[in-house]
Amino acid sequence: MRILKEVGIIAAEDTRHTKQLCAHFGIGTTITSYHDFNKEEKAPVLLERLQSGASVALVSDAGTPVVSDPGYFLITRSIEAGIPIVPVPGPTAVLAALVGSGLPTDAFRFEGFLPRKSGARNKRIERFRDEHASLILFESPHRIEKLLMALREGLGNRRVALCRELTKHYEEYRRGTIEELLLDVRKRPPKGEITVVVEGQPRRRTSRLEEEESSTTDNEGGVDYSEA
């Protein structure tokens, strides 16, 4: 709130949402639109203001700016121009979904939105088949069924968590196998921002006998310390 009050201008992905936020907290800072469809025209204007000494706050429609977001375009050009970037940490759907998914958190891979065309999407999914890390994706409500079908085809019937409207009023987690969630979304089509967490390729557990055999093999040709 302090940053939004102190900056010279707020660059917002959706001015309607940001104006409501600012009105609620009594913030009178000027707001300008900056989104995926005007970023190439608006970025030079914002850069000129930054280079003149003004400060600009970048606000996304939902989630953290720059993460699968048009803000990346402005950030890279600001860095190229030698303008300092100061992230203001806040909620992120990536980590919130991972924590609430109930799936392994020791390693994860964030891929954002997969390609819309089925061929390109299937090729990308195929690359994840043997990865042990949990996979985190963004998807829109009207494409979620197609995504789940593609995941089942490419990865098999793994565990998955469909995380909706994170940190908002209608936050919801749906957990189960891909096939279970496919049936669920057909009965209850989800709305809002969706983050999908998919179980990685389960790690194969080695038996005690395999570990002993591996240890014996590793020690062949070496010194036997068993009697030491």
Give the closest residue to 124 by CA, choosing from 133, 115, 132, 134. Answer: 115
Indicate whether 7 belongs to any domain: yes
Residues 135 and 73 in one domain: no
Q: Between 212 and 122, name the one with better pLDDT.
A: 122
User: Is 208 a member of any domain?
Assistant: no
Has residue 224 got a pLDDT over 70? no
Residue span of the structural domain in which 45 resides: 2-80
Between 84 and 222, name the one with better pLDDT. 84
Task: Report the CATH number that the domain containing residue 117 is assigned in CATH.
Answer: 3.30.950.10
| Within a domain: 213 | no
pLDDT in tens, 35-66: 999 999 999 999 999 999 999 999 988 778 88
- The reply to whether 98 falls in a domain is yes
